[in-house]
Structure 1
Amino acid sequence: MQISTQHYIYVYIYIHLYPDVTLSLGAKKSYHIAGETTLYRTSDTMATGSSWAWKPIARDALFARAYHSCDVVQGKLLLFGGLKSGEPKEPPLGDMVAFDPTLLTAETVGPNGGDRRSHHDTAVLANRWLCVVGGWDGAHRISAVCCWDTERGQWERWAEGPSNDPPVGLSSHTCTKVSEHELRVVGREGGLRTQRRFASIYTLRVNPATKTYWYKEEESRTASRAGHSAMLLRDTGGYQLVVFGGRDSSDCEVAGRWGKGKIHLESIHAPKMTEQLSHLVGSENGSRQAPKGLRHQSCTVVGPFAVAFGGETLTKGRDTICNDLYVYDTRCSPPSWFRFPCSDRGQKRVGHRTCLWNDKLYLVGGFGPDGKTPCPEICVLEIP
């Protein structure tokens, strides 16, 4: 085995997992283990800004998808559904892929059959069930709920409750977990002949014990949005759900408020990344306006910050896929947005996902600069 004097992470692990594999690192940017997931040298950079970088850690054809979901369940990233290409007639995927961020291994845990979804959203219940809400099944926009039981390794078809009042169909909406039994659903795409002037807000109640769900439409509404982001953020009185993007404006709107005792969620501990984001925004001047005309971007809450990346802009007719990093800082009143551009056009993303786990922010999949070729990489955000 030929290894240069420069040290690489994870090499030790894979030497013991695959003792018969010869690694020849040298000047290569990546290396392949046993015909499976490609690992990267720690010195490689995927997308760079002046003070941040997306660094690839693994590459696998299983990651190559867009408009999918990605959630952390029992220490693994679960990827479900999505699209393999930009061809409008190609059906969505229906497979479930698990990525282990410690071992950097990927495997299919659910076959590509049964429920197919893209443009859906998800929530994790009791660190066991992956609750899939709505989406495009290849023929229709649907509002039904199905769940993947990670302990049994199988799908469960949940039934509608007696008081269910569902939306007509959901796609490019958001579904935010409020508690183990309550989700908040905002927005959706309109029909081909429908210009929606507002976005309905639904409370979706779920009961894993009885395997039932039921929607209730709220009286409040937001402006029409699809492909937007929703951020559950702390405020002085408790929590508020703030939505942005998904329309040709820079407006942020509140889609729900809850007192301190109403939200029953465990905070994700990310002290290192919180400190890094604090240093990052400390060197820039912020703005009160959210990104204008952005949709299908990723957004993840990290402590008092929200980190948004990529997406498609509605403000231009050409070259619409973006690669800017945005940080929303709620420590001040009013909160501020900070934009950090990227000069590498090859790292544009749309329909991708980001996940926070073990003090790291992961970037998964999405279409690249042409808006139709899926990216087969998983990366982590690094802020020096």
Structure 2
Amino acid sequence: MPASSSPALKKPKRAVYDSHSNSFSTPTTSQTSSTMSNDNKQINTFQRPESPTLPPETGKVHDTMTSTSMLNDNHRDLKLNLIKSSHSSTRSSDIGPASPTSNSVAIDTTTYQMQQQLEESAHRMQHRPSRSKSKHRHPTTSYSSSLSTTKSHSHPKHNTNPSNNKTPDHLAAAIELSTTNAVAAPAPAAGMYWSRTLTYGRGPSRPLRAHTANLIGEKLYVFGGCDTSLCFNTLYILDMGRALIIDTMTWSKPRTINQQGPPPCRAHSCTVVERDLGSGRRSHQLYIFGGGNGPDYFQDIYVLDVETLVWSKPNIEPDTRPSKRRAHTTCLWEDKIIVIGGGDGARALDDVHILDISNPHAEVLRWEKLQTSGSPPPARGYHTSNLVKDKLVVFGGSDGHDCFEDVHVLDLVKKRWSQIDLDRKIPRLAHTSTQVGSYVFVIGGHDGRRYSQDVLLFNLVTMSWEARKVYGVAPNPRGYHTTVLYDSRLYVLGGYDGKNVFDDVHMLELSACAYLPQITNFEIDV
């Protein structure tokens, strides 16, 4: 890494959230995390760490029958009103960045009051006596699980409701997600909860890792990736629009016109670009950059028109392209694609490149290498980056030797790096980081020794880690997966645990945290 003058670490100012004035903010754009991936022979692009020691197998996770809600009509209405209020201003933000003139709207007092009413209603439901004396085994559901219950093709065994000697919190029994003896712990009404999502249709024929997943409206576009031996250049679409109604999603495999499409690749990046065509019409494109296939690394840009499903390959001004790479990240900022880091097969990279795509009719596109000051992060791949207004938050990654635990912030206006002084060190690579309001949810990844299934919350206001209890049966430990935010739920697709490649879809119900996307009045102070 080039030598540079590194100023002392800055301790961010601690901010206090005032629930009455609602002083928080976030970009209207919901940034989907960039997932860093590899092939079966390499944990990263540069040098494979020691093989992780996986925890003992706990049995195959199976889907279960839909649970019967214990909540009364008033409580159910409160839930639906809260979810509608929580999503009404955020649904469009999943598509891409808002226009420069759009302003974020803070969570209003009505939503806050509805949240309090919901919690009080759940509290009353938890502490009322159980009405069922039946000896038959049947699952019941808490608030968090009643918002999303799963179905099964098989006939799993259901556990009985907790006995009378349980504490009141245990009266809200959880949905059983496994046929093993290990049963999910009962979840409080406001607890985040894992469950598995049913999918139908023409989905990926092989398990996937190192793929990308981008949300446009209610459809998730999944491209590329690999299994244990092959890379793919296939596009799949997961329709998530009916998930809140019937708890299932439908796959499709559209036919694209591939005369100028990308080759099979993994560990590439995919960026959604939305354009205003006037008269209420909008267009969407997917920009694929980089990636690799075996020993080959790429540096080309490919564009898919989502409406016509036609691939194109823009002309790039000579001698401006970044070097070939994979395991990098990209974000969209003011009609510019920002590329950070990655690896070229021989070394990790620490450069930052910008591609201006503001002119959709430009015959030639031009890359620019960004010259920065401050305290840049060491070269790395398998990191994640999240755009928060004019700042890029970079976390974790690896250079082939070390698994990083640091957080760096790039001010795109001042072109200056700052390193955050953290009170807790959490090494991660090949994880996902998804912004949910004033938090970043970090899921899974590798800590340099083993794969993880943890859910970690990073507070963007205080720049510190926070612990939250998560209930249900979590997905198997994994890395190189993708995570997207849709309707106040986080969905995890695919991944790799050092031995197995997964084809499952899991959902994290945010429950009482469903209001987080509405928090919009915060600033990153570094």
Q: 2:430 is matched with which residue?
A: 296
Long gaps (5+) in structure 2: 1-67, 71-124, 129-140, 152-157, 242-249, 275-282, 362-387, 389-405, 409-417, 517-526
**1:158 deviation in Å?**
1.4
Q: Residue 125 and residue 293 in structure 1: after superposition, are their counterparts in 2 closer, same or farther (change >3 A)? A: same
1:311 maps onto 2:445 in alignment: yes
Q: 2:485 is matched with which residue?
A: 356
Inter-partner Cα distance in structure 2 for 1:150 and 1:341: 29
Q: Contact 2:443–2:454 (CA<8 Å) still a contact in 1? A: yes
Long gaps (5+) in structure 1: 46-53, 61-105, 263-273, 275-284
Q: 1:43 is matched with which residue?
A: 188
Q: 1:212 is matched with which residue?
A: 310
**1:337 deviation in Å?**
7.1
Q: Per-residue CA shift, 1:40-63, capped at 9, x if unaligned?
A: 633399xxxxxxxx93332x4xxx
Inter-partner Cα distance in structure 2 for 1:14 and 1:327: 25
The letter of the residue matching 1:170 is: C
Q: 1:32 is matched with which residue?
A: 176
1:160 maps onto 2:282 in alignment: no
Q: 1:90 is matched with which residue?
A: none
SS for the counterpart of 2:483 is: strand
Identity %: 16
1:231 maps onto 2:331 in alignment: yes
1:176 maps onto 2:320 in alignment: no
Inter-partner Cα distance in structure 1 for 2:326 and 2:436: 23
**1:240 deviation in Å?**
4.0
**1:172 deviation in Å?**
1.8
Which residues of 2 match residues 177-196 of structure 1 at below 5 A?
177-179=272-274, 180-192=283-295, 194=296, 196=297
Q: 1:55 is matched with which residue?
A: 192
Inter-partner Cα distance in structure 2 for 1:107 and 1:231: 30
SS for the counterpart of 1:141 is: coil
The letter of the residue matching 2:200 is: V
Q: Contact 2:441–2:455 (CA<8 Å) still a contact in 1? A: no
Q: Per-residue CA shift, 1:200-224, capped at 9, x if unaligned?
A: 1414132534x42223364544455
Q: 1:241 is matched with which residue?
A: 337
Q: Residue 356 and residue 125 in structure 1: after superposition, are their counterparts in 2 closer, same or farther (change >3 A)? A: closer
Inter-partner Cα distance in structure 1 for 2:348 and 2:465: 16
Q: Per-residue CA shift, 1:317-338, capped at 9, x if unaligned?
A: x446585847595x9xxxx976
Inter-partner Cα distance in structure 2 for 1:343 and 1:125: 30
Inter-partner Cα distance in structure 1 for 2:476 and 2:446: 13
Q: Contact 2:480–2:495 (CA<8 Å) still a contact in 1? A: yes
Aligned residue pairs, count: 280
**1:286 deviation in Å?**
6.4
SS for the counterpart of 2:299 is: strand
Q: Residue 149 and residue 252 in structure 1: after superposition, are their counterparts in 2 closer, same or farther (change >3 A)? A: same
Q: Whose Rg is larger?
A: 2
Q: 1:268 is matched with which residue?
A: none
Q: Per-residue CA shift, 1:289-321, capped at 9, x if unaligned?
A: 5999964221324468765444235xx4x4465
Q: 1:141 is matched with which residue?
A: 231
**1:182 deviation in Å?**
1.9
SS for the counterpart of 1:159 is: coil
Inter-partner Cα distance in structure 1 for 2:328 and 2:442: 11
Structure that is richer in helix per residue: 2
Deviates more, 1:174-183 or 1:139-148: 139-148
Inter-partner Cα distance in structure 1 for 2:148 and 2:491: 21
Q: Residue 328 and residue 301 in structure 1: after superposition, are their counterparts in 2 closer, same or farther (change >3 A)? A: same
1:256 maps onto 2:359 in alignment: no
SS for the counterpart of 2:291 is: coil
The letter of the residue matching 2:264 is: G
Q: Contact 1:350–1:371 (CA<8 Å) still a contact in 2? A: no
Q: Contact 1:312–1:322 (CA<8 Å) still a contact in 2? A: no
Inter-partner Cα distance in structure 1 for 2:341 and 2:315: 22
SS for the counterpart of 1:177 is: strand
Q: Residue 201 and residue 327 in structure 1: after superposition, are their counterparts in 2 closer, same or farther (change >3 A)? A: farther
Which residues of 2 match residues 339-378 of structure 1 at below 5 A?
349-362=478-491, 366-367=495-496, 372=500, 378=507
User: CA RMSD of the aligned region, Å?
Assistant: 5.5
Q: Contact 2:272–2:286 (CA<8 Å) still a contact in 1? A: yes
**1:9 deviation in Å?**
0.8
Q: Per-residue CA shift, 1:60-92, capped at 9, x if unaligned?
A: 4xxxxxxxxxxxxxxxxxxxxxxxxxxxxxxxx
**1:184 deviation in Å?**
1.7
Q: Residue 146 and residue 360 in structure 1: after superposition, are their counterparts in 2 closer, same or farther (change >3 A)? A: closer
Q: Residue 354 and residue 139 in structure 1: after superposition, are their counterparts in 2 closer, same or farther (change >3 A)? A: closer
Q: Residue 299 and residue 119 in structure 1: after superposition, are their counterparts in 2 closer, same or farther (change >3 A)? A: same
Q: Contact 1:323–1:341 (CA<8 Å) still a contact in 2? A: no
